Amino acid sequence: MQILDAIDSTGWCTDGRVSALNSYENRVYSVGMENGETLIAKFYRPGRWSDETILEEHAFCDALVDHDLPVIAPLKDSRGQSLHRHGPFRFCLFNRAGGRSPELDNPEQLAVIGRTIGRLHLVADTFQFDHRPFIDAFRLGDDSADYLLESDALPLEQARVYESVIDDLLPEVHDRLDAVDYREICLHGDFHPGNILWGSDGTPHLLDFDDTATGPATQDLWMFISGEREYAQARLGDLLDGYHEFRDFDERELALIEPLRTLRIIHYAAWIARRWEDPAFVQAFPFFAEARFWDEHIQSLREQRAALDEPALIY
């Protein structure tokens, strides 16, 4: 089996146990080792990242581990290599970590998450990406919308509506991002609750730095905040109380939450469209080809246009 042959080529010895895990962008497997341990193998999607970009992700993870952050970082072989090749494949290996999803309605857990992100950003302040992308409206917004309109993803009638909504929405997103003079730092980039495994000892293990990027600190915070305004305000307080124990936060960046949320919604649809030739995506997102999905997507963009005009959350 190519997966096992690839891993054996690195010096680790597999025992034949292998099972696919739930992952769309890359191919991820749980693999048994002869010593009884289980490792996680991530095979990178061909053509998405350059070697330099991947190695920069790994270096960032190493820096975080060196500062005692609970990051699940790629393992190194006897030569100190973390990015491996076998035939056409590029892959890396991780220790398996157990845990559950964090409780986002638990103030104590949110404070722990806030402290952890604050510590992460302290390290990020000393790090610089030369090859990773930026969190910006052109890449996540304009490029994504253009791709959708140029593809066959949208039915013709809905494409006209989508274009009209986008033409109104994206200039507002650009204006609101430009209005805040935020500092760009190195980020996890895709920090949502699914990328934390809450350990039995209360440690939030951080994983999946595949979308590491440069951008505003808010990008690593806003996905832990949800619900109606009063509830979201309280949860934001829990999160930032913890964050402030280790790093200052520029409260002007709270005005970026809805613009960043808008970009994520736009980019998500384009991400599926770009991967639609992959059978795994067709199987995982069958609703994407239905008119109902696009009706709901367009409605969510209209709601985001209204949300942009609402006052920002405060701390």
- Residues annotated as catalytic (active site), given as ranges: 190, 208
Q: Is 242 within 8 Å of 113 (Cβ atoms)?
A: yes
Query: How many angstroms separate the CA atoms of 104 and 191, rounded?
Result: 13
Q: For residue 22, which phi and psi values (nearest 5 degrees)? A: -75, 100
Q: Is 86 within 8 Å of 221 (Cβ atoms)?
A: no
Q: Is 225 within 8 Å of 236 (Cβ atoms)?
A: yes
Q: Is 31 within 8 Å of 17 (Cβ atoms)?
A: yes
Query: How many angstroms separate the CA atoms of 270 and 146, rounded?
Result: 9
Alpha helix locations (H) across the chain? 2-8, 51-66, 107-124, 137, 143-150, 156-178, 229-243, 257-274, 279-284, 291-308
Q: Is 186 within 8 Å of 124 (Cβ atoms)?
A: yes
Cα four-point dihedral sign 112, 127, 271, 260: positive
